[in-house]
């Protein structure tokens, strides 16, 4: 049966039921005219009357809405757009300051409309449909007459999978100026609190580690006030039933398609109901809505699965790969690249770059990326940002000349930019000192000696666009790495009036999106990779413009196990920039085998971040083999169905795998952090295979899918602790790749 989204309006009860094969979302217009929610979860049958799901009880201390009734308190009701100051004391989703100083709102249901597919969000990244049957969108209109404000809540339910996108648009329809002080994108009230909360948190070079804890009465909240989504917390959380595992059980993931300040929180009240809120961080946010003005919130996406964490992740992977990422590179395997950053840092000449590129070409690398240091007076991190013209001393014939030489070697050429930044030692700053975000008369904190350009200003974005477009239009550039290496401080725009300073953070990110949109439109075949000191802006907002992101500045394979494992909860393999780097590793000084470095990097976009000229002949032979392997298997590795099998957060072994859509092929990555003596026998239970297919692997073994999934792939390492004369010693940081191929039934 064809999957389809249904949106039913039961007029008599004023009830809406959105559903597909997987989920149901039921709402009703409440007796007081607000919009309430009755159910969200696994699909249930539609029927005429769901109003009995509105639970009311007389509770002595409750504040009540109707003069004659003691049961109708908003405190007990699941609300779609809760407001400040009502009989609901939980955190509101919206807060509007009105001219009389009041913040009370009464958003009354006014009507609804249904659209096939999914409308675009002006100026903001969002998931999309290519064909109107892929989703339906319910738009519910609410109106507060006294304040003169209308709210439209957008609910898009995709036809396939439990995927729901939600956002809100506000409009000032009155005569007075309004101040929007809180405008969350998503609110969901759940009837119980029996969940574990998972978040992806960390810091620079250890981003997106999985942290979990049970929900408890009170508030759990994550967010960013740094101006970018941040290394510290990713705009993503999971609520899972305590019994749910990677492979089974009820799981909900919530992801915000936004790259700026955000907040996601869960609030458990005294009666163990849970309110989830997600959106722009309300601190220091205040948007002035003049009569006639609109404000569109970013979009939040919920993925609901009864197939455990892997089931939820696969929903996000599919959606973000196919209906968030766009353009030429969306469905294409990614070029194998070499990046000169860890090979040279700022210390390079054109000749040195060509040597690195030449050796890489010999090994089969397809794209050479020139990182930081090619422009203006950029010989260290003290100068040059903002001046996007080639440094003539280093590159006598500019980017144009270097790109031609790289192309002549038979490779593509890529280039690093940090568009949003400026050093004080730059011509741009000397000409426009007021173009940075800085509060008049206050300290100007720096990060890595650089300052943040005021991207809330059109002329600033225009200037950077003109500079970048000149380089990209003139030279053969096939790839851009777009970096962002500091957080915002003393946020203030020189051109906005005092009452609009609360808009700067959001206007800044809209400026970033605008520049991305213009560059990706003008240069549609350039592959953009986003970056923010590694993974400081690894979020769905960026994936709309750049289908891949540099996952972390930590390139050590063992550190990357945790980082890539955590990242995979929400983001697809094709989005994770992952490179083989030198040993001792530059971040943690660790020595890992060359094959383990590649075995981790295969589950990503794959590339090298070292000078291959410094490797031995034996290592070069291994690198050539790695590149051949990646070219042969990258379509499956980057676009296959990904399963996490063993978590690096739980034990000494990590494992994950990808399976082809037809289940004829699979690749398993197995990694053991420390070697053991007198070790256990070990097996890894695989997932997603066809039970009755016989698979043979490249280690000479064959087994049926059911055997591999129920009994497991045997990973026991007989060499651990003992070194057979014909084998290399097995070390710490060992790993293996297993390539599984279905044996043709005729051969069985």
- Residues at the contact surface with ligand GLA, assessed by CB under 6 A: 341, 371-372, 416, 483, 485, 531, 533-534, 550, 553
Query: Is position 483 annotated as part of the catalytic site?
Result: yes
Residue nearest to ligand GLA (CB): 372
Q: Which residue has the tokens 């659209």?
A: 115
Nearer to ligand GLA, 606 or 642 (CB): 606
Give the integer Cα–Cα distance in Å for 255 and 278.
Answer: 8
The DSSP-derived string for 265-328 is EEEE-TTS-EEEEEEE--TT--EEE-TT-EEEPPEEEEEEESBHHHHHHHHHHHHHHHTTS-ST
Q: Which of these is catalytic: 483, 539, 554, 556?
A: 483
Please list, in sequence order, all residues whose beta carbon lies within 8 angstroms of the beta carbon of residue 646, skipping any fewer than 6 positions away: 653, 654, 655, 656, 684
In the structure encoding, which two tokens stand for residue 615, read together? 């490797």
Phi, psi angles (nearest 5°) of residue 661: -55, -35
Annotate 288-305 with b (16+ C-beta within 10 A) or e (fewer): bbeeeeebbbbbbbbbbb
Nearer to ligand GLA, 155 or 413 (CB): 413
Query: Is position 553 annotated as part of the catalytic site?
Result: yes
Smallest gap from residue 359 Cβ to ligand GLA (A): 20
- Cβ atoms of 43 and 22 within 8 Å: the answer is yes
Smallest gap from residue 14 Cβ to ligand GLA (A): 52
Nearer to ligand GLA, 313 or 533 (CB): 533
Smallest gap from residue 552 Cβ to ligand GLA (A): 8
In the structure encoding, which two tokens stand for residue 617, read together? 């002949």
Nearer to ligand GLA, 305 or 533 (CB): 533
Smallest gap from residue 365 Cβ to ligand GLA (A): 17
Nearer to ligand GLA, 172 or 533 (CB): 533
Q: Which of these is catalytic: 553, 554, 556, 611?
A: 553
> Tell me, what DSSP letter sits at residue 52?
G
Nearer to ligand GLA, 76 or 478 (CB): 478
Nearer to ligand GLA, 606 or 738 (CB): 606
The DSSP-derived string for 650-687 is TSSEEEEEEE-TTSSEEEEEEEESS--SSPPP-EE---
Please report which helix (H) or strand (E) contains residue 344, including its range: helix 341-344
Nearer to ligand GLA, 34 or 371 (CB): 371
CA distances from 29 to 12, 77, 585 (A): 11, 12, 59
- Cβ atoms of 284 and 303 within 8 Å: the answer is no
Smallest gap from residue 348 Cβ to ligand GLA (A): 12
Query: Could you give the angle at which helices 557-567 and 594-601 cross, rounded to 10 degrees?
Result: 10
Please list, in sequence order, all residues whose beta carbon lies within 8 angstroms of the beta carbon of residue 439, skipping any fewer than 6 positions away: 490, 491, 492
Smallest gap from residue 609 Cβ to ligand GLA (A): 8
Smallest gap from residue 372 Cβ to ligand GLA (A): 3
In the structure encoding, which two tokens stand for residue 5, read together? 């989204």
Give the integer Cα–Cα distance in Å for 133 and 156.
Answer: 12
Smallest gap from residue 419 Cβ to ligand GLA (A): 13
Helix (H, G, I), strand (E, B) or coil at 234: strand
Please identify every residue annotated as catalytic: 483, 553
């Amino acid at each position: 049966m064809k999957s389809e989204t249904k949106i039913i309006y039961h007029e008599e009860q004023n009830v809406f039921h959105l559903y597909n094969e997987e989920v149901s979302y039921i709402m009703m217009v409440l007796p007081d005219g607000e919009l309430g929610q009755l159910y969200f979860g696994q699909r249930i049958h539609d029927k005429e009357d769901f109003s009995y799901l509105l639970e009311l009880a007389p509770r002595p201390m409750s504040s009540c809405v109707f003069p004659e009734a003691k049961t109708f308190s908003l405190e007990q009701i699941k609300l779609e757009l809760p407001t400040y100051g009502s009989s609901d004391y939980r955190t509101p989703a919206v807060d509007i300051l009105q001219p009389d100083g009041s913040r009370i709102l009464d958003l009354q249901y006014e009507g609804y409309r249904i659209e096939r597919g999914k409308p675009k969000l002006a100026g903001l990244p969002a998931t999309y449909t290519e064909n109107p049957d892929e989703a339906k969108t319910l738009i519910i209109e609410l109106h507060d007459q006294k304040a003169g404000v209308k709210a439209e809540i957008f609910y898009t339910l995709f036809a396939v999978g439990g995927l729901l996108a939600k956002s809100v648009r506000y409009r000032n329809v009155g005569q007075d100026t309004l101040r929007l002080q809180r405008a969350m994108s998503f609110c969901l009230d759940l009837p119980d609190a029996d969940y574990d909360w998972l978040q992806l948190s960390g810091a620079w070079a250890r981003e997106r580690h999985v942290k979990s804890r049970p929900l408890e009465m009170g508030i759990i909240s994550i967010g960013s006030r740094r101006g970018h989504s941040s290394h510290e917390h990713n705009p993503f959380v999971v609520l899972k039933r305590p019994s749910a595992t990677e492979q089974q059980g009820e799981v909900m993931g919530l992801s915000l398609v936004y790259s700026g300040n955000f907040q996601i929180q869960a609030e458990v009240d005294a009666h163990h109901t849970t309110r989830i809120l997600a959106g722009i961080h309300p601190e220091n946010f205040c948007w002035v809505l003049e009569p006639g003005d609109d404000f569109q919130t970013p979009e939040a996406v919920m993925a609901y699965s009864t197939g455990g964490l892997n089931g939820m992740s696969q929903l996000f992977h599919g959606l973000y790969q196919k209906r968030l990422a766009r353009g030429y590179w969306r469905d294409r395997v990614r070029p194998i690249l070499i990046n000169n950053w860890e090979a040279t840092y700022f210390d390079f000449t054109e000749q040195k770059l060509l040597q690195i590129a030449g050796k890489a070409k010999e090994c089969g690398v397809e794209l050479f990326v020139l990182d930081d240091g090619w422009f203006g007076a950029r010989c260290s991190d003290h100068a040059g940002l903002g001046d996007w013209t080639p440094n003539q001393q280093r590159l006598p014939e500019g980017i144009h000349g270097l790109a031609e030489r790289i192309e002549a070697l038979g490779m593509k050429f890529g280039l690093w930019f940090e568009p949003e930044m400026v050093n004080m030692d730059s011509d741009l700053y000397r000409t426009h000192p007021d173009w940075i975000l800085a509060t008049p008369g206050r300290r100007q904190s720096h990060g890595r000696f650089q300052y943040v350009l005021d991207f809330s200003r059109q002329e600033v974005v225009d200037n950077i666009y003109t500079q970048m477009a000149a380089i990209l239009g003139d030279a053969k550039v096939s790839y851009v790495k777009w970096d962002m290496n500091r957080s915002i401080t003393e946020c203030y725009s020189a051109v906005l009036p005092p009452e609009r300073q609360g808009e700067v953070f959001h206007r800044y990110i809209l400026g970033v999106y605008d520049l991305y949109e213009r560059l990706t439109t003008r240069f549609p075949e350039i592959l953009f990779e986003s970056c923010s000191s590694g993974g400081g802006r690894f979020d769905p907002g960026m994936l709309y413009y750049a289908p891949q992101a540099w996952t972390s500045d930590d390139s050590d394979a063992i550190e990357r196990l945790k980082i890539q494992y955590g990242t995979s909860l929400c983001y697809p393999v094709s989005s994770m920039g992952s490179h083989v780097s030198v040993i001792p590793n530059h971040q943690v000084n660790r020595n890992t085998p060359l094959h383990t470095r590649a075995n981790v990097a295969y589950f990503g976009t794959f590339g090298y971040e070292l000078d291959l000229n410094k490797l031995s002949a034996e290592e070069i032979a291994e690198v050539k083999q790695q590149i051949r392997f990646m070219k042969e298997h990258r379509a499956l590795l980057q676009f296959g169905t990904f399963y996490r099998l063993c978590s690096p957060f739980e034990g000494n072994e990590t494992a994950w795998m990808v399976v082809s859509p037809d289940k004829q092929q699979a690749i398993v990555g197995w990694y053991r952090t420390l070697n053991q003596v007198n070790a256990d026998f070990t097996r890894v239970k695989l997932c997603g295979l066809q039970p009755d297919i016989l698979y043979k692997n490249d280690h000479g073994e064959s087994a049926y899918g059911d055997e591999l999934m129920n009994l497991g792939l045997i990973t026991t390492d007989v060499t651990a602790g003992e070194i057979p004369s014909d084998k290399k010693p097995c070390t710490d940081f060992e790993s293996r790749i297993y390539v599984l191929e279905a044996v043709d039934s005729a051969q069985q």
